[in-house]
């Protein structure tokens, strides 16, 4: 049953990410719902399941954004795997503050890797950190609050 919920979230995010989030962007920065969901799911499931979900959600994000097919898929696979591993070994209780910190750190890691690979080192990292990366990490952490309350209920509906 939980795979049905993953599919429903995938469809919902595929509609919301490229359309409605444009209206709530702050200084051109919008949260990455695919990444937020992947990180939160990874805190509640196994490394394998998190990696599979991360790959498929990243692949759909690649198709929606028109970027190099597979880049987001591979990066989200890595993020999901390491997040699930970290949550399994270190975090025992997935509280809201811990999830928000995990979303912040993983968003920073994901975006840094993405920018390094996409721009192949031809990037003003200081400017990107201040104007895009840090605001996006904060925005994703705040946007993770509603999903924090929804996702565990779908994982327990097995």
Residue 19's CATH number: 1.10.1760
Tell me the range of 54-68, 73-87, 125-139, 140-154 where mean pLDDT is highest: 73-87
Question: For the ranges 49-58, 77-86, 90-99, which has the lowest average pLDDT?
Answer: 90-99
- Determine which of 62-66, 91-95, 96-100, 121-125 has the lowest per-residue pLDDT on average: 121-125
Q: Which domain holds residue 42?
A: 2-155
**Please, which pLDDT band fits residue 95 given cuts at 50, 70 and 90?**
confident
Residue 142: partners with Cβ closer than 8 Å, 6 or more residues away: 31, 100
pLDDT over threshold 80, residue 1 = no
* More confident of the two residues 103 and 23: 103
Q: How many domains does the chain divide into?
A: 1
Is pLDDT at 130 greater than 70 in this prediction? Answer: yes
Residue 29 pairs with which residues in a beta bridge?
26
How many Å apart are CA 29 and CA 58, to the nearest integer?
19
| Contact (CB, 8 A) for 110 and 88 | no
- The alpha carbon of residue 101 and the mean position of all alpha carbons in its chain are separated, in whole angstroms, by 13
- Where residue 123 falls among pLDDT bands split at 50, 70, 90? low
């Amino acid at each position: 049953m939980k795979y049905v919920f993953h599919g429903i979230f995938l469809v919902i995010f595929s509609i919301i990410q490229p359309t409605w989030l444009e209206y709530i962007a702050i200084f051109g920065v919008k949260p990455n719902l695919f990444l937020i969901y992947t990180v939160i799911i990874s805190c509640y499931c196994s490394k394998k399941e998190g990696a599979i979900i991360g790959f498929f959600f990243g692949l759909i994000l690649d198709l929606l954004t028109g970027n190099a097919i597979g880049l987001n898929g591979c990066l989200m696979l890595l993020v999901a795997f390491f997040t699930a591993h970290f949550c399994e070994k270190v975090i025992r209780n997935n509280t809201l503050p811990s999830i928000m910190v995990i979303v912040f750190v993983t968003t920073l890691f994901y975006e840094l890797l993405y920018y390094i690979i996409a721009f192949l080192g031809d990037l003003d990292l200081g400017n990107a950190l201040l104007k895009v990366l840090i605001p996006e990490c904060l925005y994703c952490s705040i946007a993770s609050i509603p999903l924090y309350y929804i996702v565990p209920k779908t994982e327990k509906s097995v």
